[in-house]
Amino acid sequence: MEIDERILCFGLGVDDPKRIFGTTAGLVERFGPRRVFDMPTSEAAMTGVAIGASLDGARCLMTHQRLDFFLLTLDQIVNNAAKWRYMFGGQAAPVRIVVRLILGRGWGQGPTHSQNLQAWFAHIPGLKVVMPASPADAKGLLLSALFDDNPVLFLEHRWLHQMQGELPEGDHRVPIGKAAVVAEGSDLTIVTMSSMTVETLHALPALQEAGISAEVIDLRSIRPLDLDTVLASVRKTGRLLAVDTASPVCSVASEIVATAACECFDRLEGPPRRLALPDFPVPTSPALTDGFYPRAEQIAVAAAGMLGRTVDVAEIVASRTSPHDVPGDWFKGPF
């Protein structure tokens, strides 16, 4: 907002006491209520305001506290924002909006408060979709999104908001559409995203103890997908495990597996595999959510199984100190 005075930040809760998990803390005090402001609870109207303002020259950073409620805006996003420049032959004003959407599990969020619909949005030409998994990538991708001339959906997993890590100073930007190899390996490739990147990294020590060298790719961008990085890794390792935060049918993991099968079938040493949520709505009850979400131990077992190995996950399981449906002792509720 210092770089470009055309940037506006608005949405439910951006200036309330909680400030969207603290992510908008200090903004209204620094940039004033004309650039940072709350909106009435009308997701479609709010999104329409953002599209209209962007066509008038603004760059809009809009926050919806639940991805699920954002579904009320699909006509605005799909039929207006995503197609605008295409319909006018690239001659119309760009729709420069970034939409922050919070998704993911936890604290009984249930079937209407925890959906992972990144594959839906990635299906729409004209939309860009990113899912950071680290503080540095959150900053870098958000800056890249803010200065992109296309609408960008910025999907934040609820459990990652308290994550700590090194944060590059200054104008740090991560290119949209470039995956990161977060661990190098030679026995199999694990492609993942968002919170599942963290779970996969937690699985690595157990795999290494079993003598398995896994290469981990964090997609970071869901659209565009960095298939070059994925396929280069699969050609090197010969095996692919695609780990998704969503259910498997028509998922990002499905796209990764299909592309690998089409482009480097002759280099595969075994069938690719997906690891995702069960294919039915997310339950609310703690008794039902226990075991619903794949975590590090399931990733380790799945990866080892693809090599015909077994892996000891007792240490991972023993490390759990919080109830299974909350990210940590600090978590007191969705707000």
Show which residues are catalytic. Answer: 43, 113
Q: For residue 306, give the DSSP letter.
A: H
Asked if residue 66 lies in contact with residue 114, where contact means CB atoms within 8 angstroms, the answer is no
Q: For residue 283, give the DSSP letter.
A: P
- How many other CB atoms are found less than 10 A from the CB of residue 319? 10
Amino acid found at 243: V
Amino acid found at 20: I
Q: For residue 292, give the DSSP letter.
A: T
Helix (H) and strand (E) counts in the chain? 14, 12
- Which tokens hold the place of 186? 């030679």
| Integer Cα distance of 240 and 187 in angstroms | 9
Asked if residue 19 lies in contact with residue 43, where contact means CB atoms within 8 angstroms, the answer is no
